[in-house]
Structures are given as structure tokens and as C-alpha cells.
Amino acid sequence: MSNLILIFVCLILGIVLKRAKIVPENFHSSLNAFVINISLSAFSLYYISKIELNSSVIFPALVPWIGIFFAIIFFYILGKIFSWKHSVIGALIMCAGFGNTSFIGIPVIQALYGEEGLKTVMLVDQPGFIALSTVGILVANFYSGSKDSLLKHLTKIIKFPPFITFIIALILNSFSIEIPKEIDETLLKLGSTTVPLALVSVGSQMKWKKIEKQEGFYLFLGLTFKLILYPLLILILYKYVFLQNGKIIDISVLESAMAPMITAAIIAEAHHLDSKICNLMVAIGIPLSFVTLAIWHYVLQVL
């Protein structure tokens, strides 16, 4: 229960700090930089180095890849049917195709499944960043008309701290190398800053704007895909096609049902895709996802 309370307390703190102008305008950028480069790197090294690597880990790792390719197909077809602008199609693909698997996923999964569940979260989150930095960038470039080099972005991935620690953790795990106790405890403490800092950042970035009729239609389709259709696809594929069950599969389904990823929305806006759709998808998707996640959790307990 305390973890659930922490989620809402930190979200509210972020909103209050921003509205009261107690903090600088873009203070969330500093929080995000610390969380992504330090906290998540520590989390990745701590948990991935200890997880049992077997055939089941492929399922959480595939979640973000299935999501973005499903989103590309889904919104490309709808865009053709309704003759949408490229900026709208691209914004919907980016915001509905990538989930908030760390900033929202970590506290939610920790609250529902405890510390053990965070190992699976890392197996979804780290491949998710790779998908965002490759396929996501290609999508943003294509729908904005940008000509940025893919090689440039691949170089950024190789230099990205969470990716580096992810690879190190896999190597340590593969060769059964244990991290010294003192360093391990330090990694855990650094990783534990992820939840409060990430949620305060999310709260500070939540903005609500007046929704026009057409924008409401885009928003409805985008959130229906992200919060309902995509997790439904993962549920059907994993449980009824591949006949998989267990905690890893349940967490994979819940991770697919997370709200739109803030980082994906930022990249979409930076590429001049429809900024209002991006903002609405995040601002409304995050609070709404707590309701849909509760429903999905109940469904998983019943099945």
C-alpha cells in the first residue's frame, strides 16, 4: 500500500511544485537526466545481473518491439482511411507505440509484485529504449520529413549509460560474476531514487489543454490503442498463442498497458509532429492508465 501512496504523493508534489513556481521552469529536465543516466543505469546493473536468463526472458524483451510495429501498421492504415496529416500519424505512432515502462512502470510493478518484479521491468524497459532510438527515430524522421542519419542515433545508443550498464549486466550474468556486496548495495540505493524522482518529474510535466472535436477523436483512438488494444494483443499472443503463464508474462502484459512514454512524446515534438496530440496523450494517458492498469491487473488475476 505504501508504494501506491508514494505514486500519488510524488505525482501531486510534481504538480504543486510546478504550479507554485517553486522550482525552475525546466527543472524536470535535470530530474530526467539523473533518473535516466544514473538511477536507471544502477537499476539495470543491479537487477539484470541477477535475473535467471532462460527462454522466458524473450517475452518481456519483445514487448516494446511488438508495440511499435503494431502501432505503425494500425495508425498507417487509419491515416490512409481518414486522410490524416503526416504530423498526426507520426505523433500517434510515437505516443501510442511506446509505453512509460520505467517512470510509471517501476513504481506500479513494484507496488503490485515487489522488488522481484523489477527484474522483468528492466527486461522490457532497456529493449524499449533501443526500439525508441532506432525504429522510433526512423518513424519521427519519416513523418516529419527530417533527414537525420540513423548512424548518428546508433552512436548515441552505444554511448548511452543505461545501455552500457545493460550490456555489462548481461555479461556479468552470463559468466556468473557477482558484484561485490558494497557496490551492489550502492547500486540498489541509487536505483531506489528512480521512483520518487521520476514521478515528481511526470507530475511537473502534466498539462491539460482545451480539446477540440478532431483532437478528441485522435486522442480516443491513440489511448484506446495504447491502454486497451495493445495489451490485449500481448495477452492473447503470450497466453493463448504461445501458451505462456506466470509472473513474467503477467508483468509483460501490464508493462504493455502503461501510459504513453514521455520521452517518445518529447522526440515527436522535437521532430515537429503534432505537439498538442503528444501533450494530450501524455497528460490524459498517465492518470487514465492507473484506472486501466487496475482493470488489467484484475483480469490477469482472474485468468
DSSP 238-266: IIIIS---SHHHHHHHHHHTSPBPHHHHH
Residue 124: pLDDT over 90: yes
3-state SS, 150-175, equals HHHHHHHHHHCHHHHHHHHHHHHHHC
Q: What values do phi and psi take at 257, rounded to 5?
A: -95, 5
User: 25-61, pLDDT tens digit by residue?
Assistant: 888 888 888 988 898 889 889 988 888 878 888 999 9
Q: Are 108 and 89 contacting, i.e. CB atoms less than 8 angstroms apart?
A: no
Q: Which domain holds residue 121?
A: 2-302
What pLDDT, on a 0 to 100 scale, did the predictor assign at position 194?
82
Q: What values do phi and psi take at 99, rounded to 5?
A: -105, 160
Provide the CATH number for the domain around residue 44. Answer: 1.20.1530.20
Nearest to 98 by CA among 296, 272, 265: 265
User: 177-196, pLDDT tens digit by residue?
Assistant: 999 999 999 999 998 888 78
DSSP-assigned states of every residue in 200-214:
HHHHHH----PPPHH
Residues in the chain, total: 303
User: 208-256, pLDDT tens digit by residue?
Assistant: 667 888 999 999 999 999 999 999 999 999 999 999 999 999 999 999 9
- Name the domain count of the chain: 1
